[in-house]
Amino acid sequence: MRLIDTHCHLDEDAFSHDRADVVAAAVDRGVTRMLTIGTTAESSRAAVEIAEQFPAVFAVVGIQPNYTAEAKPDDWPVIEKLANHPRVVAVGETGLDRYWDYAPIEIQQDYFDRHLELSRRLGKPFVVHCREAEADVVAQLKAHATDGLLAGVMHSFCGDQATAEACLEMGMHISFAGMVTYKKSDELRAVAAMVPSDRILVETDAPYLAPVPNRGKRNEPGWVRHTAECLADVRGVTPEEFAAQTTENAVRLFALQQFE
Ligand SMILES: [Zn+2]
């Protein structure tokens, strides 16, 4: 069974002492490819370095909504430059976050626009972070979807069915993280059950949100299997079928076949 962890943060301090072991353990468990996501200019630079170091790791570069207010004027040109790197397979994470009050929404929206424009210019997809801002995210995505479908993913999806449907209609992929394995997540599991099989992805968001049975521990890419098994069960397919389908989706969306 082969899986791709489409969203993790290997540059974080939580991995500074054993990053190589974590990547090797994931590969051992069949997680043969993982995408490490930048959240600031500095973290995006680190993500690219990690992707250069490990053949199994690819980078995504961007300024996460909660870090947009503290971004310096020179940071965006850094992202634009890094985005051209051959091992950078997408732009982000970007989006809107109304849960934390770290950045005024206008600044978040400005950076969201910049990421969407950069994604289009480079022909690389984008990764969306959305927290308690579903209607605003959908509206902003719609404004960019005027001349066709969008190539992007709603990462660690935790919205409702209507939001998922609006995103799917624009061509978006939906990715689920460990939260879907939690006992209280019945509504989220119902959403996961209805996402078309050619649009669903799986991720860890490591080091955060470890799936059951490792909830509360430092999360790592090798554990994406637990979330995949839960999703397969919810969707009434075998874990092998689910792994093959989500791997095919991730390879297609992030153009990973070019590295084979
Ligand atoms: Zn993330």
Residue 88, helix vs strand vs coil: strand
The model's pTM is 0.97
> Which domains, and CATH codes, for the chain?
3-259 (3.20.20.140)
Decide if 95 contacts 134 (C-beta within 8 A): no
Distance 107 CA to ligand 1 centre (A): 19
Distance 11 CA to ligand 1 centre (A): 11
Distance 169 CA to ligand 1 centre (A): 23
φ/ψ (deg, to 5) at 37: -110, 130
pLDDT at residue 148 in the model: 84
Q: How far is CA 166 from CA 94, 136, 214, 249, in A?
A: 18, 12, 32, 19
Give me the tens of pLDDT residue by residue for the chain, a chain 260 residues long.
999 999 999 999 999 999 999 999 999 999 999 999 999 999 999 999 999 999 999 999 999 999 999 999 999 999 999 999 999 999 999 999 999 989 999 999 999 999 999 999 999 999 999 999 999 999 999 999 988 899 999 999 999 999 999 999 999 999 999 999 999 999 999 999 999 999 999 999 999 999 999 999 999 999 999 999 999 999 999 999 999 999 999 999 999 999 98
pLDDT at residue 147 in the model: 81
Distance 193 CA to ligand 1 centre (A): 23
How far apart are the C-alpha atoms of 3 and 157, rounded to whole Å? 18
User: Angle at CA 52, nearest 5°, toward 50 and 56?
Assistant: 75
Which among 95, 110, 92, 4 has a CA at the least distance from the CA of 47? 92
Distance 7 CA to ligand 1 centre (A): 6
Q: Left, alpha or beta for 134 (phi > 0: left; psi -120 to 50: alpha)?
A: alpha
